[in-house]
Amino acid sequence: MAAKSSQTMTIPTDAELVQAQADLWRHSLSYLTPMALSCAIQLGIPTAIHRFGGAASLPDLVTTLSLPPSKAPFLSRLLRLLSTTGVLASNEAGLYSLVPLSYLLVDGVRIDGDASQTALVLAVTSWHYMEAAMGLADWFKKDIAQPVPSPFEEVHGAALFEESMAVLDPECDKLFNEALAAHDHMGIGTVLRECHALFSGLQSLTDCCGGDGTTARSIVKAYPHIKCNVLDLPKVVDKNPSDGLVNYVTGDMFHSIPPAQAVMLKLVLHFWSDEDCINILAQCKKAIPCREAGGKVIIIDIVVDSSSGQMFETQLLMDVAMMVYTRGRQRDENEWSSIFAKAGFSDYKIVKKLGARGVIEEMPQPVALASCTRFFEAMSAMRESFSTLQTLRVGPSMSMTPDGSSDDSKFLTPPQWREGLMLNCWKQVGDVNPEGDGVDGIDQRRLSWPSSINRDL
């Protein structure tokens, strides 16, 4: 029988009920906000305002967009919603102007070297995406064996960015890949400016799932001494002939990664389960040198942070989007830390200067620490072996019976395992900065000792 709650809900007041109803309307109708945004892109409103020098009136837009004059009052209502929700700005003179958000939606304008984000908005407001989200309740009710397909796969019988999607709808597949490229490339300029130390000492780098190589080329242009490989599937590499700046490599990051001083995973791991992420990171570890030689993995991805205010809501929306459209998820720092430890990495740093995303620098264990780890793993294995031998009572006794024969009833038993050495070693090694300190705005952490070692011996 279910336990009864000791708390009873207070009956809302009239004022609270009225406000609750208004909030319910807002939540229920909030899907119209992205629909209005999509409409603005399809009509070309941000681009038209940009061509007017950054500000335009309602008559200007009606004329420029070649809309029927009868639609002017309706366009005014759409613009009012876009202004209220922060997509545009407006003033008392009746002029509508661009803000940073709408500047991202201007066709033909390069933002920090990247294309506009119109494809992203059109993709996530497409019928394929909306229909998958509408099937979420039915998806929850089904008991499906692992690995659980996403609602998108359940509804459409195809997976995003896979050949099955290209067969289902080639035009939408093209749009989705354009959206992915625009989303992935956004922000690399900021990373190069804000995280100079991340790249300055590198001689080589492999960009996993690097697509058309835009990110890698940006790195090489900023740091010409770095030799960059772009690893991706054959269907991607075949579309991007080498231009001399970067080296395209056909392959699969689950099987092998081209050796380099650093491996980059930019907006990659959130598409995959924890188990898949551990496997990918294990391949990364094989591809890089030891920590003393500068080996590291650079991860650019969302780090969910409940203290980040409105950004936290955006991160949670992105997490549910991953649940609906892929088999991946967004992760907080503890979840990232757990994956790193299981993949054999000892330290990481997080720089939070990319809005909802973070830049994670992940380092393997120092050589000396790795050797110490293997030593204690061997000691643990030896202890288990001695424990087994104790129960078996191995080895005949050397004492003889009066008639000169050996006494088979007596056996030597190995002495109890001396734990003093192990315990003293632990005291000498100790924990190095287990909690971590914040230095220059960077979160630094040392991960726990490998799980293969029993510290309670």
Taking CB atoms within 8 Å and a gap of at least 24, the contacts of 169-172 are 169/128, 172/123, 172/126, 172/128
Per-position DSSP letters for 213-275, written without gaps between them: SHHHHHHHHH-TT-EEEEEE-HHHHTTS---SSSEEEE--TTT-----SEEEEES-GGGS-HH
Phi, psi of 300 (to 5 degrees): -115, 110
**Nearest Cα residue to 224 out of 194, 243, 202, 209:** 202
- Alpha-carbon dihedral angle through residues 373, 376, 382, 385, given to the nearest 10 degrees: -80
Q: Give yes or no for a contact between 450 and 380, defined as CB atoms under 8 angstroms apart.
A: no
Tokens 């459209």 found at: 325
**Nearest Cα residue to 65 out of 49, 53, 79, 86:** 49
Q: Which of 50, 128, 185, 270 is catalytic?
A: 270
Cα–Cα distance for residue pair 367/371, rounded to 1 Å: 6
Q: Give yes or no for a contact between 369 and 363, defined as CB atoms under 8 angstroms apart.
A: no
What sections of 326-366 are H helices per DSSP? 333-342
Cα–Cα distance for residue pair 90/97, rounded to 1 Å: 6
168 half-sphere exposure, CB direction, 13 A CA radius? 17
CA distance readout (Å), 189 to 4, 219, 311: 55, 9, 21
Distance of CA 143 to the CA centre of its chain: 27
Q: Give yes or no for a contact between 120 and 175, defined as CB atoms under 8 angstroms apart.
A: no
Told to judge if 270 belongs to the known catalytic residues of this protein, a careful annotator would answer yes
Q: Residue 442's CB: how many other CB atoms inside 10 A?
A: 17
What residues are annotated to the active site?
A: 270
